[in-house]
Amino acid sequence: MSLPEAVMKSGSVRPAVPTAGQSQPGFPTVHPNILRLYNYFHDARRVYLILEYAPRGELYKELQKSHTLDEQRTATIMEELADALTYCHEKKVIHRDIKPENLLLGFRGEVKIADFGWSVHTPSLRRKTMCGTLDYLPPEMIEGRTYNEKVDLWCIGVLCYELLVGNPPFESNSHNETYRRILKVDVRFPPSIPSGAKDLISKLLRYQPLERLPLDQILEHPWVRAHSRRVLPPSAQMAS
């Protein structure tokens, strides 16, 4: 059994596909905002992954501690994720589960996409499987439509809102109400949210996937450009 055939998830072996963090011929692995997989080994029951160390832990824990993040921190994370997802999509990988729990923090606090348990490598970039986390599900998944890599655009729009406000935009008392609000794109912006961030989120949380702001335009969005303080590690600077 090779790693592309199985990957560790919640202590068990499950079918999987190559992810952006794997080392294999023709699939480069080094991106400063994707947790690196150095090697793996397995026994009869489990696959063990040797991963890059992320010393500052989960973004989720940082958010729990501070409740919200400021504009600079959030805009920096948006730039890092847009760049990392561009890399993934170029390799025909859809992540499908971007959320604070799946993002780790490196030595400088940089975000690293760490959990590819729901990711899929699909040359056509088209799928129908419903997966991910309730508060982050895009309309096309809920409705059972065929979807593509633009589900990741929806997810980072939800993430941007949660980082600035402290909770996801469609959070409700019941699953059905959450589904209803997602399908209506019922986003309620508090007065505290900056106008530039509101503009970015509004351009990502669109019912029609084709209307969502592309990743390259996230990188060039005025709010991101004004507030991001992304610092690349020396190795990435040399590579660029």
Residues taking part in catalysis = 97
Residues in Cβ contact with 238 at an 8 Å cutoff, skipping those fewer than 6 apart: none
Question: Distance between CA atoms of 26 and 22, rounded to whole angstroms?
Answer: 11
Helical H segments across 25-150, by residue range:
59-66, 71-90, 139-142
Partners of 34 in beta bridges: 113
- Check if the beta carbon of residue 3 is closer than 8 Å to that of residue 23: no
SS3 205: coil
- Checking DSSP bridges between strand 103-105 and strand 111-113, what pairing results, if any? antiparallel
Tokens of 167: 């909770």
Place of tokens 């997802």: 85
Tokens of 182: 């997602």
Nearest of 80, 150, 66 to residue 110 by alpha carbon: 80
Partners of 51 in beta bridges: 37
Burial class (CB in 10 A: 0-12, 13-18, 19+), 2: exposed
CA distances from 97 to 120, 126, 153, 157, 193 (A): 11, 16, 11, 12, 24
